[in-house]
Amino acid sequence: MSAPVGRGHPPLRRDGPQGRCETVNMAGFLPAFISHSGLSLAAAPESLGSAPLQLENPLLILVLCVVAGVGTVLLLPARRDVAFRKVGGSLVVAALLIFTALLARSKFSIGMGIYFWIFAAVALGGAVRVITHPRPVYAALYFVLTVFASAGLFVLLDAEFMAAALVLIYAGAILITYVFVIMLASEARSPEATASHVADYDTTSREPIVAATVGFALMGVLLFVIFDRGHELTVPPQITTDNTEINNTQGATQKLGVYLFQHQSVNLELAGLLLTVSMVGAIVIARKKVLVVELPHGRPPVTVAPATPIDDNPYSIPVFGTDNPRQKAYPET
């Protein structure tokens, strides 16, 4: 099945005429599509692989991470004034804005990527609110916002099916389960607590300074590597999947399906098996133990007549010499 590498358009390219099929209609309005198809006319061969940007002073990333870390520590739920949280929030927003400006300045072109910036800002702002909002239901709803913004980023990356699947699975299934469990778990609250009551473990955070230091150190190192060594991400050669049938099918979703069932079929079956096993496991874990009521000690065991007795009341009066299986015999055996 290993046909030679097709020299046709690779599966994610949209610049060929037959690549512009019905799934593109939605993406046709998006500037990413314009950039994707327009970039083949321009000097850069592809949008994602075009000249990697360099920051003049990568140390600035680390400074920004420190600022954002201080802001996050102030923003994390704790028994503080609202003013501190406002200061922390403005610090985080300022760090994000400066970082954006740095990125935007280093490589200038006409406003094609405005959708990327909007989606990225919404996703990251939602993510910060997920970890800083004291009430779990609102955290879950902010996570839904993050999921929608990530789906927008996926659409910009020509992964329309994954965007739809993300919204369906995350926002539709997983988050509903989370909200259900949140409601289920906060139901046993004391009755005098008002609706605006927030539990104690939600208003305080555990080791915020240490966690923010570790997290933002990791973030700084990651961003430093991405932007400092990014010039080694040269434009790859035309890597296509090694099958011509994939190129013959139309549409990104069809290509993904064909790719999955031709190259990843065993993994797909394993994924289904994993889902089944986890479903069984979840049922077994969350099952409530059924209590079997035992008769108190000392009373003789009551024998009732076989074959679904109506009279299974242990206090009813046994009948002497009966043949009716629905009645109790007098000398109780």
Q: How far is the CB of 81 from other proteins (least distance, A)?
A: 19
Retrieve residue 269's tokens.
Answer: 């079956």
Cα distances (Å, whole numbers) of residue 240 to 13, 59, 79, 170: 10, 37, 55, 30
The closest of 101, 7, 4, 9 to 46, measured between CA atoms, is 9
Closer to other proteins by Cβ: residue 91 or 159: 159
Helix, strand, or coil here: 141? helix
Q: How far is the CB of 256 from other proteins (least distance, A)?
A: 5
AA identity, residue 315? Y
Q: How many CB atoms lie within 10 A of CB 272?
A: 10
Closer to other proteins by Cβ: residue 268 or 295: 268
Closer to other proteins by Cβ: residue 52 or 318: 52
Closer to other proteins by Cβ: residue 138 or 330: 138
Q: Which helix (H) or strand (E) holds 118?
A: helix 114-132
Measured distance CA(13)–CA(33) in Å, rounded: 10
Closer to other proteins by Cβ: residue 152 or 328: 152
Q: How far is the CB of 132 from other proteins (least distance, A)?
A: 8
Q: Is 66 left (phi over 0), alpha (psi -120 to 50) or beta?
A: alpha
Partners of 319 in the beta sheet? 329
Q: How is residue 204 annotated by DSSP?
A: S
Cα distances (Å, whole numbers) of residue 204 to 67, 167, 198, 199: 22, 31, 11, 9
Measured distance CA(213)–CA(76) in Å, rounded: 13
Q: How far is the CB of 224 from other proteins (least distance, A)?
A: 10
Q: How far is the CB of 128 from other proteins (least distance, A)?
A: 6
Q: How far is the CB of 154 from other proteins (least distance, A)?
A: 6
Measured distance CA(145)–CA(162) in Å, rounded: 16
Find where tokens 């008769």 sit.
Answer: 295
Closer to other proteins by Cβ: residue 222 or 317: 222
Q: How far is the CB of 313 from other proteins (least distance, A)?
A: 33
Are the beta carbons of 37 and 9 closer than 8 angstroms?
Answer: no
Closer to other proteins by Cβ: residue 224 or 305: 224
